[in-house]
Amino acid sequence: MPLRRMFAATSVLFLIVLAISPTKNYFRPYRALQHRYFRLGAARARSLKAAAEYTARPVAIQQIWLREFEDRVDRCPTCHLGAADELMQDAPEPFRVHPRTAHTPADFDRLGCTSCHGGQGLATSQVEAHGSAPDSGSPMIPPQSIEAGCGRCHSTETVTDAPILSRGRSLMARSGCYACHAVRGHESFRSEAPPLTTIALKTGGGWIKRWLTDPKAVDPNATMPNFQLAERDMEEITHYLFSVPAPPSLAAAIATAAQDPAGDAANGKKLFSESRCISCHTVEGKGNGSAPELSKIASAATRGWLLAFLRDPQAFNPKTRMPRYHFTEVESRDLVAYLEDEFRDFDAPKDLFEPIRVNQTLAENGRRLFRQYGCFSCHSEPGLVEAERFGPDLDGVGDKRAASLDFGRRTDLPRTLPAWLAAKLAAPRSFAPGLKMPSYGFGVEDTAAVVTALLALGAQPVPERYRFAPAGSTVSIPGGPVGALIDRYRCLSCHRIGDRGGDISTAPLTAEGSKVRREWLVDYLVLSYTIRPILEERMPVFRMSRDEATLLADALENFYLDATIPEDPFAGRPPADADSVEGQRLYVTLGCRACHILGTAGGYYGPPLTEAAKRLKPGWVFTWLKGPQRLRADVRCPNYALTDTDALRLTAYLETLRGVSREPAAKGAR
Amino acid sequence: MRAALKGAWIVAFLFLGACGGARHPDASKADKPKSPEETKAPVASPAPLSYEERLGQATFRHYCQTCHGETGAGDGFNAFNLDPHPRDLSDPVFQKKTDADLRDAIVRGGAGVGLSPLMPPWGRTLSGRQIDDVVSYLRTLRKSP
């Protein structure tokens, strides 16, 4: 009898255990959600038939299987049923239709959900799928940083439709994050920070202390972060910097320059504006800002150093973006006289340039600090071979579990990765004593942008076929005398050639040979004038010799061509007068004058066309008119979808625009 | 005796089932404490832009702002020399136009809709999605009358 009773009890127990799983499944939230969605769909459906289709749908797990994307399975549509359903505009979450983006709804089946949003695709409960638990791997990317998802596949610096990510990436490069932290794809990054070998001849202990206390307070354009050094540390580092011997050639150049007689400041002022210094530098905030602010430069550097530096900046810092101008001895003297007169901090204490008598013990401690804070990562240390990256690797930082992060003293933070990253950027040393990362002084928006860029750094690179690499043209830079000129004038500091170079200039040189006429280019290089008057960044007047200009123009004419741009768009049949008259009519009816100046009338957004025929080659004009975006993707000139005939007529008209005469135009534009 | 035991088992089973099953999502939502954003009084700063509006903003800033200005008031730097002047996009009267009208004016330009040709047609330069995003961003520029 007890045996039978026990048998009955265990059978019932067994049945109960068996029933738990289906019961649990029956009460899963997604089932109720799916019922709600079907009701909502039926209510919103435009026809009875469509409504019936909604109600007839079975409750089931919905999933997207990405065989080629790490074999992912995304079950997000189990709850987010309306993601691809246009009827679910403004529906309550989780049913709302996915906003339209470059990839949605087109690529749902190719990308799934987690490849952009993060989270656990296999899970079917909200907490698990969204990864909100602290020990969850790859939690969902929060909406304000969603562009981090774009960055997993798009590894380029600028990503279309992802302005926050692009801003974050450019901030990371500009702030030199990659100098200390290794990040895939940035292995070759080298900071442009100057070597510090001549600093003892450049300035004094007072100024170094001022700078170290807060670089951005001294120069708003500074990229150097604030190391929050103690008074004592600053003193030791200063002693170390003063103990570093300057290279003999530079020391001699500075010493000679210091003996130079005073120059003529009035002429210096003229040179300063002619050389277009503010195309890169700023003066009281006016200018491009990619190079140091100059308004207090004479209180930062001694006269001898300034003179020697202006005469050959590239000898002081081989990585500098500053070109080597053709200043004569007298001209550089005049320029420095102007800087000394005008660009001075009149409130500065007198002892800024006070030299330091090096104390060997302090200097030795300073050297240790120089290593300890990783200063050498940006300012190369004499005698130190290329060291490993100083900070921790950042690859995979976007996939870190919140539970694996050290929040230390920061008990005030939500235990999430984005919150940790934001706090690390805002107050890097607030987590524990003894941390080394300096403070970059990013504002709220910049911090959010950098957090987005960091969240884009996944642990594993995405599969090859998902990686987005733009068809960037790799163009080689010639060597020999032409290469030496390109290096001397640092063309690549401002102009892009292929996928290299800076973005200060709006004119990439990749197809310059197909674009401008050689004779114009030679004249322009000898005496450049302003093509776009609204820009602060203007081509400096290098005053290169006509021989140098010819050499460069010939190189551009021969190397930097676009094979798709015809030499003669008219194909041997020169346009008739009627064509250019018709072209002129098109110029008016299309509204070209909204952006281009012709004579005196028109907007100033585009380049003036008064002398278009002298500057541009007709083949390029024709190709441009047929679709400006093909030649430069982000250009504002709209594509008017002109027929070949109309484009040729307009080209014919522009070919008649030769200006009044060269001399007044060149003078006026300067 | 046996019947009573069976009854007890059934009760236990129902109890277990109720514990094992997850709660209804609506119920869990109802007793969730309100997040600080919900409880805070509405602040004066404008509502944050949605993703589409942000994309629209980026497109607007790149292509439109030079003439229409940052706030859409028609005071972009390039507007100075233009006659007729660009339309004030933040004007509530202008904002009465339908989305379809705005889209049409962007796609076909001023000349396409019987206005000044100085407003170029963007239909071949911007994608349909970009234009939709710009239109939704334009709606955020509306000045209160």
pLDDT digits (tens, 9 = 90+) for A246-297: 999 999 999 999 999 989 999 999 999 888 898 899 999 888 888 999 999 9
Nearest CB to B62 within list A143, A605, A636: A636
pLDDT category at A323 given cuts 50, 70, 90 is: very high
pLDDT of residue B9: 53
Question: What single-letter amino acid sits at A93?
Answer: E
- Which residues on chain A are in Cβ contact (under 8 Å) with B20? 20, 23-24, 27
pLDDT of residue B44: 47
Q: How far apart are CA A38 and CA A40, in angstroms?
A: 5
pLDDT of residue A479: 85
Q: How far apart are CA A14 and CA A4, in angstroms?
A: 15
Distances (CA, A) of A274 to A83, A277, A525, A542, A669: 58, 8, 14, 9, 12
Asked if residues B88 and B98 have their Cβ atoms less than 8 Å apart, the reply is no
Please judge whether A23 and B21 are an interchain contact, meaning their C-beta atoms are less than 8 angstroms apart. yes
Residue A147 CA to its chain's centroid (Å): 15
For A430-437, what is the mean pLDDT? 90
> Chain A: residue nearest B1 by CA?
A5
Other beta carbons within 10 Å of A498: 15
Question: Which tokens sit at B1?
Answer: 């005796």
Question: Which tokens sit at A126?
Answer: 């909200």
The verdict on A564 touching B (C-beta cutoff 8 Å) is no
pLDDT of residue A50: 92
pLDDT of residue B77: 84
DSSP letters, A266-305, are: HHHHHHHHHTTGGGTSEETTEE--SS-B-TTGGGTS-HHH
Q: How far apart are CA A606 and CA A596, in angstroms?
A: 5
pLDDT of residue B145: 67
Evaluate if residue A384 carries a pLDDT over 70: no
Give the torsion sign (CA, A463, A468, A471, A472).
Answer: negative
Asked if residues A66 and A112 have their Cβ atoms less than 8 Å apart, the reply is yes
**pLDDT over 90, % of chain A:** 59
Residue labelled with tokens 């071949």:
B124
- Which residues on chain A are in Cβ contact (under 8 Å) with B118? 591, 593-594
Please judge whether B81 and A604 are an interchain contact, meaning their C-beta atoms are less than 8 angstroms apart. yes
Residue A286 has phi, psi (to 5 degrees) of -90, 120
pLDDT category at A618 given cuts 50, 70, 90 is: very high
Average pLDDT, chain A: 89
- Which residues on chain A are in Cβ contact (under 8 Å) with B51? 99, 101, 143, 146
pLDDT category at A383 given cuts 50, 70, 90 is: low
- Provide CB contacts within 8 A for A665, sequence distance 6+: A529, A610, A611, A659
Evaluate if residue B15 carries a pLDDT over 70: no
pLDDT of residue B11: 45
Evaluate if residue A199 carries a pLDDT over 70: yes
pLDDT of residue A99: 86
Please judge whether B24 and A32 are an interchain contact, meaning their C-beta atoms are less than 8 angstroms apart. yes
**Residue among B15, B129, B135 with most chain A CBs within 10 A, to mutate:** B129
Nearest-5° Cα angle at A118, A117 to A121: 105
Torsion-angle region of residue A137: left (phi > 0), alpha (psi -120 to 50) or beta?
beta
pLDDT of residue A201: 92
- Which residues on chain A are in Cβ contact (under 8 Å) with B119? 591, 594
| Strand A500-501, strand A496-497: pairing | antiparallel
Q: Which residue has the higher pLDDT, A203 or B48?
A: A203
- Which residues on chain B are in Cβ contact (under 8 Å) with A589? 111, 117
Residue environment code for A626-658, b if the CB has 16+ CB neighbours within 10 A, otherwise e: bbbbebbeebbbbbbebeeebbbbbbbbbbebe
For A561-573, what is the mean pLDDT? 87
pLDDT category at B26 given cuts 50, 70, 90 is: very low
- Which residues on chain B are in Cβ contact (under 8 Å) with A639? 124-125
Residue A125 three-state SS: coil
> Residue A64 gets which letter from DSSP?
E
- Provide CB contacts within 8 A for A75, sequence distance 6+: A61, A62, A63, A121, A122, A123, A124, A129
Nearest CB to B82 within list A29, A33, A594: A594
Q: How many CB pairs under 8 A join A and B?
A: 112
Please judge whether A24 and B52 are an interchain contact, meaning their C-beta atoms are less than 8 angstroms apart. no
Evaluate if residue B4 carries a pLDDT over 60: no
Q: How far apart are CA A509 and CA A496, in angstroms?
A: 6
Evaluate if residue B34 carries a pLDDT over 50: no
Is B54 buried (19+), middle (13-18) or exposed (0-12) by CB count in 10 A? buried
Q: How far apart are CA A92 and CA A488, in angstroms?
A: 61
Residue A499 CA to its chain's centroid (Å): 13
The verdict on A603 touching B (C-beta cutoff 8 Å) is yes
Other beta carbons within 10 Å of A259: 8
For A513-519, what is the mean pLDDT? 93
The ipTM (two decimal places) reads: 0.76
Question: What single-letter amino acid sits at A408?
Answer: G
Residue A521 three-state SS: helix
Strand partners, A72: A66
Q: Which residues of B touch A (CB under 8 A)?
A: 6, 9, 12-13, 16-17, 20-26, 28, 50-52, 54-55, 58, 62-63, 66-67, 77-82, 109-111, 116-125, 129, 132
pLDDT digits (tens, 9 = 90+) for A283-310: 998 888 889 999 999 999 999 999 999 9
Question: Which tokens sit at A523?
Answer: 């004249």
pLDDT category at A448 given cuts 50, 70, 90 is: very high
Residue A516 three-state SS: strand
- Which residues on chain B are in Cβ contact (under 8 Å) with A629? 125
pLDDT digits (tens, 9 = 90+) for A34-49: 999 999 999 999 999 9
Give the torsion sign (CA, A556, A562, A563, A568).
Answer: negative
Question: Which tokens sit at B130?
Answer: 């970009």
Residue labelled with tokens 């993703």:
B51
Of the candidate ranges A579-583, A584-588, B29-33, the one whose mean pLDDT is the lowest: B29-33
Q: How far apart are CA A522 and CA A537, in angstroms?
A: 21
Distances (CA, A) of A387 to A194, A354, A395, A564, B91: 17, 33, 19, 46, 60
Residue A559 has phi, psi (to 5 degrees) of -90, -45
pLDDT category at A352 given cuts 50, 70, 90 is: confident
Please judge whether A99 and B121 are an interchain contact, meaning their C-beta atoms are less than 8 angstroms apart. no
> Residue A570 gets which letter from DSSP?
T
Asked if residues A475 and A510 have their Cβ atoms less than 8 Å apart, the reply is yes
pLDDT category at A386 given cuts 50, 70, 90 is: low
**Residue among B50, B66, B85 with most chain A CBs within 10 A, to mutate:** B66
Q: How far apart are CA A315 and CA A633, in angstroms?
A: 37
For A646-661, what is the mean pLDDT? 87
Nearest to B121 by CA among B103, B98, B139, B95: B103
pLDDT of residue B45: 54
Please judge whether B25 and A12 are an interchain contact, meaning their C-beta atoms are less than 8 angstroms apart. no
Omega before B84 within 30 of 0, i.e. cis: yes
